[in-house]
Structure 1
């Protein structure tokens, strides 16, 4: 939910949290503030990782605007005159719930939606925009397609912890963020708490499990007067929104990371709030809760230090960050927080080192791994066997519709107003998730009705609404009212083309890409293809590359032969014997059987061809004849003369002919253009990933078919989308260096890539190429979070170097 992060942000944040508390699942919603329509880049990245089903604004009403900004609205009476005084108050009383559009809110909402993959689709009659059906959330009244908590369990009757409506300021926001809000917030001020009450409440907010603080009776809500209630025994108002739901995590994070966001801006609060929702480790620290220059809440300050100390001693990583505090102040805070509060005799230095290592100041990253979300209890991991078809391009399509996404929880199932989302993942398929692709165009199977329900490509797979939007006859059973779409998962090449076509472009295989596709079919799949090129056979395959001079490919007589090809004998191609294969493969003694097995495998695949080199009695030219075409009488491929298969035709040895091996012409051509480098990169990346798929040599073209840029490799590695340039020399060139770098950035922008890789067989990349790419990434106006730059050097050697580049400085460090 996007809300106003300006001067009155405490009020708008509390109102947004009040709205969240009204809806089922609201405890999992996140808040994104804006300032005059502008959203902080860190929060854009956070929203992208969160992967919302809907991006909405907090709906403003006449009453809420009048509270936050008295007199800001121009209200006219029935005679068209400005309404003032008592008449204005009465008008606001009567029409206070009337929604008022706010341009800056919608501008910010669209900016957040642009980096996400929420429910939306390209409208048939509108080629320039998106069609969305949920764009606002009402603090008053209903919001279509979302379920109010009261529609499931009825009105709230039990006591709970809730932000008091009159509590504003830092404590008001912090309590609402922790507990939710049952009653509509009012514009007010900080609660009047004495020092012990302030210390206990702040300590509870900072570290609820630490035992240093307790919730005060003031935040206990009950519909009637109540006494003798222990606040510590009560659930929060947010708990009601999680009826039948449980928190689950997707993926594994090797070490828990705690983010401490310091500052008094709306962005500081939201950063911690979102991190807490996503990873369970966000802590907001307003500056008034820290002891700075002798000021601040000393009791809360001690609770902060205690909480941080617990995390450091458990081995957690604590990251201190801010969006508003100046550099020198933040440095002072970090230095102060690094002071241990407890240690044993003689252990102080070791404790200080632990704090310095584990408590750092840096920006926040938002990994997909380890993200938490709410799912229906006991129904978040159900497996079904579904028949599928697989095209030659690798597209997978379901033959039958999805099973009904029925809910078993008795209370939830009994609610006729319930609306929910279903996540679908086809286990055998790997495709980039999210990234703004229209789900209706990308993942609906051919012939499926695009309007039966709303579909999107989400962070964890395909997501669709449970509700059907086509005709449903009266009396239809509840199970038959549920949407059951039929889906497909496009291959990486198809997906890239869909991303391009969404912007009026297209992506298709280049000439090199078509060669690789031929090779993929020969080897069976890209993994086997890349593995062969990364093994000892690569040096053998390279000897088959055509050359311009015969002397460049001379072999000893027992190792092979070189023959001219084409008119004018302008190219020379090598043919190896098995002895030559062993020699150029550098086979060790006793490893001959391994090479024999690999050669036989390549022969069976059609990559290698066995045959004889026979001379012609008429034209005198030798030529290679495959074993499939050999006969007692053979036709010369050059002059068509017929020749007996006799010793003068093969010349040596004198006894029986020598077998030679030819390489498939497509593989020869690919190797002659350094096509092995992208395959070496492919194999390297595959060995570093748990889930990996890639495609080579795709070309981005405009609507007229003009080439814009080419990717040597596009890969999806553990959810990270990679575009790569793979070259033998470590340079993007000299004459058009800036243009070459711009093409790398254009491809990454088009595909919403996470990484741009520069790969080379050289030991390093030239500094000029690195700086040119850094400049392009640094200065480009990215609509999405900018990709990181990665260097992979030494491909084809036993010393591969993998580096990350700082786009601001060009400095490198080991890839994480």
Structure 2
């Protein structure tokens, strides 16, 4: 977080970038002027960027004097002797400069920490400030890199054009001959790292030299989880928020260019190559102003291939909120980032995974634990953790773990922690004694919901429907098996247990409706009209359900003392049995079983919780989550069954499912019909409740699912109006919420 003033904001951003260019990891860090942090477009991107640390840049007096000449002289004027003044100045130049704009930057950093839920002052803080002097907990880039690191000479970065280029390559200490014209800065800023200007700025640099902000210099690479190559982004405008937007988009998407000059230049034209499509945006300009500036650049290009009226524009002016910022890049150590580990874990009742043992101390190849600091991220592919701000250290450390051993938080779909201990490290400690070895927890989705709802003053409890689904899931062994059941012909078979009359195709005596339940024999099950389900496979399925407890095998028995006829599971049958109604003792003889036959016939009873799940159309949300998990972005998602959100102990809204990915948390509502309600007022109220549920749970959005061909337009309109109304009312918790309507 760089200090800001209106007259020198670019110089202060350059000062922060110059300091950052000397830190290992600068290729994956952003510089944000303090005045830009609250801009909605910047805030949206920073939330998705989800930084592990937010540092306030505190310059030295020497740096402050470079940005504001005369700062030091103004302080030391009037000193008693010239010698004392020289000694004082030498000492002062190294001291932190604590001016009001620095304090404002610290306050902005605190605000961003709260927004992103990272290294907050009231929690565990590993690093909070970046000083001009080297500090122990940050590793210098020079201590790690194997190449000659170069950057734009600091004295040359005095304009926004120079800053636009320095944003790509970083700022170094070396000097250059002569001056760089504004046109040259514009050319190289538009071309980024492809520019030959570095050789002019550093004529003595060796052939293995790398820009300070390049991944190569830091021995790192960027890893993308996006499935498609994304368009380059160009940010127009010369304001701090434009620079900040370009900075963070560069880290999220990998390719972003900042053009802070309004006058079109010939070198801007490389952006409009016919081989690429470019998104043009701005934080300070309207979409129309952005489009006009881009059109001016387009018309000024020096080549024409086809008549202008037939040309297809290879660019699109968009609002910053329209830019896809899902799947941000992850900057990792090149040769050590993908290391499989076998780690013993235990699964808690709420689905949380906890490491059973402390992690073994480990140093990546090429690093020295005495000189270097790094972070470790552990992910479980089948158990993603959304990087939500509320999932702080308390949520991702195992029971009994010392919370002060190291920094830990949810990030990059897993849990990340600082490499070194800092609770207490004795002098001369061994490698195992100096490196962190925490026991971590990967929260289950129920635990995640409890944490996110609690942060909003709400509570979560399973609904009756959710309890039934949880019982069935436990019987079948997994949520996936339950979803597959809902999509299989087995669901139609289970519906036979709730039929009010004998289903077609059932032989006489194979289907009985008793007072407590409906039971079926194998003959009734085999008579189900589904020609695609072979009898052998059907037989195997029934046997599996019986072993799982979904079905219970038993007999229909009567009582010789009262007129009751009841189903008795196999586990309750012996030669003698007690009547459930009157308690009378009966013998297992031919006059007791039904139907009358020389030998008793086996029947099957459906587990009561499964029966209620079928009766209440429990397959609808199961089909919805099954479809969602077939999409690439949610393939490994965690799913929670129906639950209720309570405010002040009172039920507020019931949600049909929750879905957590490595990126975010979603809530959903699934319907058998195509409408949320029968009247406009009720539809509006239902839409309001669902969106309020998303806000209380900290969800990124709402999924509406129906088994019909499409939702009724009245329902779509009701939800859209409610979303727009909440945005107009500046309900900040819902600014990012939106609805994905699924048929």
Q: Same fold (TM over 0.5)?
A: yes
Alignment partner of 2:736 out of 786, 807, 812: 786
2:390 and 2:417 mapped to 1: Cα distance?
A: 14
- Could you tell me which residue of structure 1 aligns to residue 140 of structure 2? 148
Q: Does the 8 Å CA contact 2:385/2:662 hold for their aligned counterparts? A: no
- Give the Å deviation of 1:694: 0.8
Query: How do 1:548-627 residues align onto structure 2 when only pairs under 5 Å count?
Result: 557=508, 560-565=511-516, 573-584=517-528, 586-588=529-531, 591-627=534-570
1:534 is displaced (CA, Å) by 1.5
The Cα of 1:172 is off from its aligned counterpart by 2.1
Which residue, 269, 288, 292 being the options, matches 1:305?
269
Q: How much does 1:386 deviate?
A: 2.1
CA contact (8 A) 1:395 1:494 kept: yes
Cα pair 1:18 1:184 within 8 Å, conserved: no
- 2:321 matched to 1:371? no
Q: CA deviation at 1:522?
A: 0.8
Correspondent of 1:332 among 256, 274, 292: 292
1:497 is the counterpart of 2:450 = yes
Counterpart check, 1:696 vs 2:641: yes
CA contact (8 A) 2:189 2:258 kept: no
Distance in 2 (CA, whole Å) between partners of 1:593 and 1:350 is 67
Residue in 2 that maps onto 1:49: 48
| Aligned-residue offset at 1:738 | 4.6
Q: Is 1:536 the counterpart of 2:486 in the alignment?
A: no
Instruction: Give 1:553 deviation, angstroms.
Output: 12
State how far apart, in whole Å, the 2-side matches of 1:202 and 1:531 are: 58
**Aligned equivalents of 1:149, 1:76: Cα separation in 2:** 34
Say whether 1:425 aligns with 2:383: no
Shift of 1:499: 3.0
Does the C-alpha gap of structure 1 residues 259 and 589 become closer, same or farther in structure 2, counting only changes over 3 Å?
closer
Counterpart CA distance in 1 for 2:452 and 2:136 is: 30
Work out whether residues 125 and 407 of structure 2, in 8 Å CA contact, stay in contact via their aligned partners in 1.
no
Distance 2:373 2:532 in 1: 69
- CA separation in 1, counterparts of 2:616 and 2:159? 66
RMSD across aligned positions (CA): 4.1
- The answer to whether the aligner puts 1:388 opposite 2:388 as a matched pair is no
Residues 120 and 133 of structure 1 are in contact (CA less than 8 Å); yes or no, is this contact kept in structure 2? no
SS where residue 163 of structure 2 aligns?
helix
1:134 is aligned to 127
SS at match of 2:556: strand
Q: CA deviation at 1:270?
A: 2.5
- Could you report, residue by residue, the CA deviation over 1:699-730 in whole angstroms, capped at 9, with x for unpaired residues? 3335x643333332111245442211223333
8 Å CA contact 1:214–1:232 kept in 2: the answer is no
- TM norm structure 1: 0.78
Q: Once the 2 structures are TM-superposed, how far is the Cα of residue 403 of structure 1 from its aligned partner?
A: 1.9
Aligned equivalent of 2:82: none
Query: Structure 2 vs 1, CA of residues 44 and 405 (structure 1 numbering), >3 Å: closer, same or farther?
Result: farther
Contact persistence 2:458–2:645 (CA under 8 A): yes
1:281 matched to 2:255: yes
Q: Secondary structure of the residue that 2:492 maps to in structure 1?
A: helix
2:580 alignment counterpart: 637
**Residue 640 of structure 1: CA displacement?**
3.3
CA shift, 1:451, in A, is 0.9
In the alignment, does 2:173 pair up with 1:173? no
**In 2, Cα distance between equivalents of 1:590 and 1:98:** 78
Mark the runs of 5 or more structure 1 residues left unpaired by the alignment.
Answer: 80-86, 124-129, 186-190, 221-228, 291-296, 566-572, 793-800, 802-816
Count of aligned positions? 721
CA distance in 2, matches of 1:629, 1:387: 40
Distance 2:285 2:451 in 1: 43
Contact 2:11 2:157 in 1 (8 A): no
1:755 alignment partner in structure 2: 701
Match of 1:712 among 656, 664, 671: 656
Equivalent in 682, 688, 691 of residue 625 of structure 2: 682
**Which residue of the other structure, out of 403, 407, 415, is the alignment partner of 1:454?**
407
Kindly tell me: are residues 483 and 234 of structure 1, through their superposed partners in 2, closer, same or farther at Cα, counting changes over 3 Å?
closer
Change (3 A) 1:256 1:768: closer
Distance in 2, matches of 1:114 and 1:690, equals 31
8 Å CA contact 1:338–1:352 kept in 2: the answer is no
Q: Deviations over 1:292-317 (max 9, x none)?
A: xxxxx3x32xxx223430xx42xx44
Relative to structure 1, the CA distance from residue 400 to residue 97 in structure 2 (aligned partners, 3 Å threshold; closer, same or farther) is closer
Cα distance 1:770–1:106, how it changes in 2: closer, same or farther (>3 A)? Answer: farther
- How much has 1:554 moved relative to structure 2? 13
Give ranges in structure 2 of 5+ residues lacking alignment. Answer: 79-84
Q: Conserved in 1, the CA contact under 8 Å of 2:119 and 2:128?
A: no
Write the distance in 1 (CA, Å) between the matches of 2:228 and 2:119.
Answer: 32
Shift in Å at residue 370 of structure 1? 5.7
Residues 362-419 of structure 1, C-alpha deviation per residue, up to 9 Å, x if partnerless?
545454536141x33422222232222223433222222112132432xx52x84432
Q: 1:730 aligns with which of 674, 677, 683?
A: 674
